[in-house]
Amino acid sequence: MRIAYLDCFSGISGDMFLGALVDAGVPFELLEKTVAELKIGAALEHSRVHRGGISACKVDVLVHGQKDLPREKFWAHRHGHAVQPQPDVESGADAHSPEHRHGRGLREILNLIDTASISQCAKQTASDIFNALGRAEAKVHNVDVEQIHFHEVGSEDAIVDVVCAAVGAEALRVEQFYGSPLNVGGGTVGCAHGVMPVPAPATLELLKDVPIYSGDIQKELVTPTGAAIAKVLVKRFESRPLMKSEKTGYGAGSRNFEHYPNVLRLSVGEIIEAGMQSEDFPAAGVREEIAILEANLDDLNPQLIGYIAELAFSLGALDVFTVPAQMKKSRPGTVLTVLANVQDERPLREMIFRESSTLGIRVRRENRYALPRRHESVATPWGDIRMKIAGNGKALQYAPEYEDCRRIAYEHAVPLKTVMQEAIRRYLDQKNG
């Protein structure tokens, strides 16, 4: 499985994430085009800098031709109850640009994302990030999310960070994001409501259920925007898994600490699943324990079942399928089945209860035998397509990645079946030399 791993040993912010994406191979021109099409008077520039001896990519947002002041803080207020920002405790600089910006409401920001010229997947990711930010602020201030207006995160530069993060994450073409525990820093930070301990309340709310720690650097290392990006994209926070890294990118933070690399490291590569490291991998597969969740649905709008399946995959489900069933009182129904890693069972169970009408979920543990999987890229007349290959030594199963073929078919107006057939033909030609 192709994954991206975020090393957050120096925290994460929106601009650090963009820098890491570009350094790991996401075309800067793609992000430039995305910003231009937002039509909010913003642009991007990038440069090479050094942070603690490490060469990294620094991405800056220009608003109406000028770089914004440091975007380390997150200002939000209740609509109609704005508070003037306090000076930056760490730099002595005013947190806003000299000309005060009126905050944007969440609905306005979501409408802007919805009309952007980006894919539906990227729109959903960007919307999820801003929804997470809104919910965190609403919870901290005990108000309805519609009452929250964003200053810093609603301004042009932060909208650029979030939308470009969504577009760039999609461009990596990975199946999942993993992440390390987050170093949040320490000390205090000035915000619109006064001086707050690090992590700021909204950041801590966003990072609920995420492993965090405070290291030697007593500065704010995780911004709310960075926390929201990590919360939405990363499905697992753990030590680096067994993987073969293909690309590594470093995104630079604004500060340059002495003897400490203020960078976010992004690694892209293939995760080595159980048994894959052995050249003697048995043809019968390696046994692993998985969780199986089942629910009978007989009074739910069928349109919602597809949505539930999409949410399950976003939470790490290995597979989701449905089977028609005859329920009591002769009602037609559906049996929803979700296969998952054992550690993902609880969030999936909570989601099914929340999103469906079921009153009970059957959960059991079973063994499955899995073949190791890897990807190989094949060149077609329309672009590269990943082939998923299962087995060891000789390929036992192979198939083109559906999402790659679907994207190419759509972009080039070619029948999907033609793209898939050509990918298979090219792979076999490549394999047989």
Q: Sketch the domain layout of the chain as residue ranges.
A: 2-271, 286-370, 373-431
- Cis bond upstream, residue 199 (ω within 30): yes
Residue 41 confidence (pLDDT): 86
* Distances in whole angstroms, Cα of residue 421 to Cα of each of 114, 132, 173, 397, 424: 34, 41, 21, 15, 5
pLDDT along the chain (433 residues), means of 10: 93 96 96 92 93 93 71 39 37 33 74 92 93 86 67 69 96 93 87 76 91 89 94 90 90 90 95 53 67 93 92 90 90 94 89 94 89 84 90 74 93 94 92 76
Residue 234 confidence (pLDDT): 95
Which CATH architecture does the domain made up of 286-370 adopt? Answer: 2-Layer Sandwich (3.30)
Q: How far apart are CA 87 and CA 85, in angstroms?
A: 7
Residue 340 confidence (pLDDT): 92
Asked if 375 and 387 touch (Cβ cutoff 8 Å), the reply is yes
Indicate the CATH number of 373-431 among 3.10.20.300, 3.30.930.10, 3.30.200.20, 2.30.30.30: 3.10.20.300
> What does the angle CA 48 – CA 242 – CA 319 come to, to the nearest 5 degrees?
105
Q: How far apart are CA 104 and CA 146, in angstroms?
A: 11
* Distances in whole angstroms, Cα of residue 340 to Cα of each of 69, 237, 316, 344, 356: 44, 17, 7, 6, 18
Q: How far apart are CA 311 and CA 317, in angstroms?
A: 9
Q: How far apart are CA 79 and CA 427, in angstroms?
A: 57
* Distances in whole angstroms, Cα of residue 352 to Cα of each of 80, 186, 327, 337: 38, 37, 19, 11
Residue 285 confidence (pLDDT): 64
> What does the angle CA 5 – CA 179 – CA 233 come to, to the nearest 5 degrees?
90
